[in-house]
Amino acid sequence: MAALRTAYPPSTLSPAQLRNLLRRSADDIGLTGFDYDHGFGIVDPPAVLRLLDRADARPLRIGEHVSGHLAETLDTQMFKLSVGTALNIALDGPTGADFDIYVRKGQEPTVTEYDYRGYTTTADEKLRISPLEPGDYYVLVRSYRGGGDFLLSASID
């Protein structure tokens, strides 16, 4: 981790961003997600580096549809959008899978730190955020079960 911090100083990768990368890339042991026996799991440096290779959140513009693919359970993709009013987010995923969306203002969300979350037992999610504070919002699409292609969109009222 010291070598990682040397390669990515705080001016390039903030402490909060590094913490989120470590949490998202940890080899989860024990209960799914955070637990008091194992925290977020075992640090996985190669996984951190893979996330850093794609650390830039893909832009998502209002009214635009973006497609993606989650290869397996616990795979994720991050998106960023700038908004100024009520926001609607829709996720259309494959039959038989269970995808979730997590949204956080100003920072990348994790499965434990988020402002809003869509929660169903399918890969189709809809989330409405109102009233909305203007700013940048990050959207995390995560496979809870299964994999496949998805379509993500955002609209405002």
Whole-angstrom distance, CA of residue 38 vs CA of residue 112: 15
How confident is residue 146, by pLDDT bands cut at 50, 70 and 90?
very high
pLDDT tens digit sequence for 1-23: 788 788 778 877 778 778 877 88
pLDDT at res. 122: 92
CATH no. of 58-156: 2.60.120.380
Domain ranges within the chain, ordered by starting residue:
2-53, 58-156
Q: What is the mean pLDDT of residues 89-118?
A: 91
Separation of CA 102 from chain center: 6
Query: 66-79, pLDDT tens digit by residue?
Result: 888 888 887 888 88
What is the separation, in whole angstroms, between the first and last Cα of the chain?
44
What's phi and psi for 20, nearest 5 deg?
-65, -40
pTM for the model stands at 0.61
Please choose, from the candidates 155, 94, 97, the residue with its C-alpha nearest in 3D space to the C-alpha of residue 121: 97
Residue 54's pLDDT is what? Answer: 56
Span 117-145, average pLDDT:
87
Q: Above 70 in pLDDT, residue 55?
A: no
Torsion from C-alpha of 130, 133, 134, 140, nearest 10 degrees? -70
pLDDT tens digits, one per residue of 20-51? 778 878 888 888 777 888 888 888 888 887 77
Positions of E strands within 71-134: 76-83, 87-92, 98-105, 116-118, 125-129
Whether the pLDDT of residue 53 is over 70: the answer is no
Q: Which residue has the tokens 């926001």?
A: 87
**Which residues face 155 on adjacent strands?**
88
Distance CA 62, CA 88 (A): 9
CA dihedral (88, 95, 104, 68) positive or negative: negative
